[in-house]
Chain A
């Protein structure tokens, strides 16, 4: 231990221009530093405000390793609080979501707090008279996560004072969230369908890198997507329509050229997306009535412009991703260097036909569930990599594909869809936000 702590140079040296040291995936000390620095200096997705529609509603989750509560206060505003009683440290709530009523009441000693975290009452308060309670940490109530932003329903928080403000941090990348919200004729999303929770015995960054890894589908997913195509050929020879599952699985077997041409867009601070020109979501069959709803809401030109975006995965650094055309989001929660919880959530587009939500949920089930054959393909590769990285003979992971030294001077770009620039972009941001506060 002690190789990396308080040693910004050692952390920097883990990321070369085209290679990354294995310790970023397997080392406990690096993981601890990620929790203390990377997940504090960056904006982390907390939840969607449609999960807490009513006053007093709360939702419990984590930012890095920190348990937090997203809560709807009596004035309608959303607050993000640390889930810890300021008195003895007890978690205020254990359940994932619920309604606190007018106030939180700690179950241990019945201290109570308003839904903005402020202290409301202490039983037998006279026992604190003349003890200097007003100087204590406890009297401040439940601590807030310092920085919080509700962007069109998407709640993000940043724990540290270091690091950029919200708009500066995300910049142009917010256009992906905008596009997903705009896909609702009412301009509103609602979390719907339930969350799929899939435990991975690998480092969280492997899931992030895979989002823009377009050279793996035709290899790793031949087992599932390739089989789906073959089965459908045999069961329905010459059929004009595809089974809904085949429609979702088949594009994963597209040739390299398809992925090269679909393009990747690079943004500052480690954000980026695949599917600039087209994507595996481009050729889904139309949902009856939906386009008419969109035209009624936006006019034909604007409706077409919204729906012509077919961005595949938008990677919001560090651990959040949005799939606009599918109305799904995924959050990769780091639990240990070799343990990650992948949460996959879905949205209803308010005022759109139910059939759209049905396709969204079918996609989520077929691709992101612990029972998903496509998920099994991916997990096998992540976990083999997590084991393989313990080989001492070569400690470096290669992310060199289509590297050009000129990219170091470039903040944004639209590039060949099989480039690994976005992976390099993520690691450059990783290095920056890891060492920002060292």
Chain B
């Protein structure tokens, strides 16, 4: 199994954001490894998702629940639906560990979520921990650190 190039990693992260913006959630969920997690810490520099509260710490079951809910006929907070928009800086390669099959990228980004007349702008850093599974890159962990992670926030209904 050949290791991914830096350009493969960068392309993966950019594609991942595009799938969210285009509401292609089935394809998006498929990017996660079976034991993958999506983590949005609550505290600045948080190290522990277990004994410190997080805004999100979803495994694939929880991500699946969110995605099904977004489609639901009685999901009133999605009538009308939210839309979102990512602007990414070029992802930087943090570490490449071919022996351990682990690749980490770091991507500063701006994210806009909008519904009805309300539009919220968030600034964040996304850290992707990726791994090759069956010849394809998969997400072991997507960590999203909001610059204002501890602020009083409005609803965030989609994915950063």
With A227-B72, A376-B77 known as contacts, the answer to whether A361 contacts B156 (CB < 8 A) is: no
SS class of chain A's interface: helix, strand, loop or mixed?
helix
Residues in A whose Cβ lies below 8 Å from that of B68: 227, 230-231
Asked if B111 lies at the interface with its beta carbon under 8 angstroms from chain A, I say no
Q: In the complex, are the beta carbons of A198 and B76 less than 8 A apart?
A: no
Taking a contact as CB atoms closer than 8 A, the residue among A192, A249, A341 that contacts B51 in the complex is A192
State how many residues of chain B have any CB contact under 8 Å with chain A. Answer: 32
CB of B16 within 8 Å of the partner chain: no
- CB contact under 8 A between A196 and B53, given known A376-B77, A377-B77, A380-B77: yes
Which chain A residue has the least Cβ–Cβ distance from B82?
A376
Chain A residues in 8 Å Cβ range of B55: 196, 365, 369-371
Collect the chain B residues with CB atoms within 8 Å of residue A361's CB: 50-54
With A341-B152, A365-B53 as known contacts, state yes or no: A194 contacts B43, CB within 8 Å: yes
Chain A residues near B51 (CB-CB < 8 A): 192-193, 354, 357-358, 361
Expressed in whole angstroms, the Cα–Cα distance for A249 and B157 within the complex equals: 17
Question: Which residues from B are CB-within-8-Å of A195?
Answer: 53
Query: Which residues on B sit within 8 Å (CB–CB) of A380?
Result: 76-77
Interface centre among A220, A223, A341 (most CB of B within 10 A): A223
- Of B18-26, B58-66, B95-103, the one contacting chain A is B58-66
Digit string of A349-390 for contact with B (CB within 8 Å is 1, else 0)? 000001001100100110001110101110111001000000
Q: Is A222 an interface residue (CB 8 A)?
A: yes
In the complex, the answer to whether B52 meets A194 with C-beta atoms within 8 Å is yes
A226 to B40 CA separation, bound complex (whole angstroms) = 24
A305 at interface by CB-CB < 8 Å:
no
Indicate if the CB atoms of A227 and B77 lie closer than 8 Å. no
Cα A370 to Cα B50 with chains together (Å): 18
Q: Does B123 contact A (CB under 8 A)?
A: no
Closest chain B residue to A236, Cβ basis = B61
With beta carbons under 8 angstroms apart, the residue of B65, B76, B157 that contacts A381 is B76
Cross-chain contact B52 with A193 (CB below 8 angstroms) = yes
CB distance from A200 to the nearest CB of B (A): 9
Question: Considering the chains assembled together, what is the distance between the CA atoms of A193 and B57 in angstroms?
Answer: 14
Q: How far is the CB of A3 from chain B (nearest CB, A)?
A: 30
A215 to chain B, nearest CB (A): 16
Chain A residues within an 8 Å CB radius of B56: 365, 369, 371
The CA-CA distance from A272 to B118 in the complex, in Å, is: 36
Which 10 A/B pairs are nearest by Cβ-Cβ distance?
A: A380-B77, A370-B153, A223-B75, A197-B152, A376-B77, A193-B53, A194-B53, A227-B69, A371-B55, A199-B152
